[in-house]
Amino acid sequence: MDEVAKIVKEIKAGQIKPIYFLMGEEPYYIDKIAEYMEQSILSQEEKGFNQMVMYGKDVSIEAITSSAKRYPMMAERQVIIVKEAQHLSRTIDQIESYALNPQPTTVLIFCYKYKKLDKRKKAYKAIAKKGYIFESKKLYENQVGEWIRRILSGRDYKISPKATQMLVEFLGNDLSRISKELEKLQIIIPKGTEITPSHIEENIGISKEFNNFELRKAIGERDVLKAAKIIQYFSQNPKDNPFVVTISLLYSFFAQLLHYHGLSDQSKSAVASALKINPYFVSEYQVAARNYPMKQCSQVVSKLRQLDMKGKGVGATNMPQGDLLKELQLAIF
């Protein structure tokens, strides 16, 4: 986010490069930067003759550079945005000759999603010398909660830790999807509000009682009855609660518990730092650690591995999710 802010700041100050190569596994920032450039570099009057959007699957590098070499009409610059530029991956190295001597009155923007240029190639070095290369990296799931808080804070909202966890559990690290859901909430909820699990349940459709987050909590507390109710709900709604997500989250939880047992410093701040979790959730790990000694944690991790294989069809072809969940409950309790 800091690098995105830097790009925006430079553009606002008129410090605009002739080439921007936006690449990487996370499309969210690539789209946002390209969208900002599309809206901001030229005035509305200048865009008609001087702004062009091309698509990688429909054009060649030769056609792109030919357009880039033209002069703007009645404007200081022209802007060319090449969307879905990853379709040019086989010929992208041909951009080198243009990048070595780019047209100073053209802003050429490549949106190269899900892929990266090889830093050893001449094309990369040429673009880096004259232009700007931005790599958009996927966030790890343990980083997404902080990203959500920062996004909402900038829009004058707060969000409770549990509500954040619900979003991350349900949407993973898909920033584009999370952003769309947050935009829905902002339409309904007034600024200055703290977003709660009830807001998430009512407006996004994630149950605040029957989700993997609550299952993990019930298991940690050895609340067999509550865990059984959630597992029953999952069995009846398999499409909304895929087994692979449940088993992955619980495997990660018990692996973290093993890590917790091995910590010499088990203070709240030390645990949060070591396990890379929000300090708000440390108490859950403390409770779970009392309920599951190290030896039992190790046994559960081993059983969860076996169940994960069964869920993928190894040793148990087409085993119903309900049966897998029952085995999961037995394996833990």
pLDDT single digits (tens) 111-152: 999 999 999 999 999 999 999 999 999 998 888 999 999 999
Buried b (16+ CB within 10 A) or exposed e, 307-324: bbebbeeeebeeeebeeb
Q: How large is the average pLDDT for residues 267-285?
A: 91
Q: Residue 223: its pLDDT value, please?
A: 94
User: How many CB atoms neighbour CB 276 within 10 A?
Assistant: 12
Strand pairing of 132-135 and 19-24? parallel
* For residue 282, pLDDT beyond 80: yes
Q: Positive or negative CA dihedral for 159, 163, 169, 170?
A: negative
* For residue 96, pLDDT beyond 90: yes
Q: How confident is the model at residue 274 (pLDDT cuts 50, 70, 90)?
A: very high
For 234, phi and psi rounded to 5 degrees? -60, -40
CA distance linking residue 243 with residue 328, whole number of Å:
10
CA distance linking residue 27 with residue 231, whole number of Å:
34
Q: How large is the average pLDDT for residues 103-107?
A: 97
Which residues are CB-neighbours of 105 under 8 A, at least 6 positions away?
71, 72, 76, 77, 78
CA distances from 108 to 60, 74, 112, 146 (A): 14, 18, 13, 33
Q: Does residue 269 or residue 170 have the better pLDDT? A: 269
CA distance linking residue 134 with residue 31, whole number of Å:
12
Q: Does residue 278 or residue 288 have the better pLDDT? A: 288
* For residue 235, pLDDT beyond 80: yes
For 276, phi and psi rounded to 5 degrees? 55, 50
Q: Residue 317: its pLDDT value, please?
A: 66
Q: Residue 236 has which token pair?
A: 């009846």
Residue that the structure tokens 């100073």 belong to: 104
Q: Residue 82: its pLDDT value, please?
A: 98
Q: Taking a C-beta distance cutoff of 8 angstroms, is the pair 272, 282 a contact?
A: yes
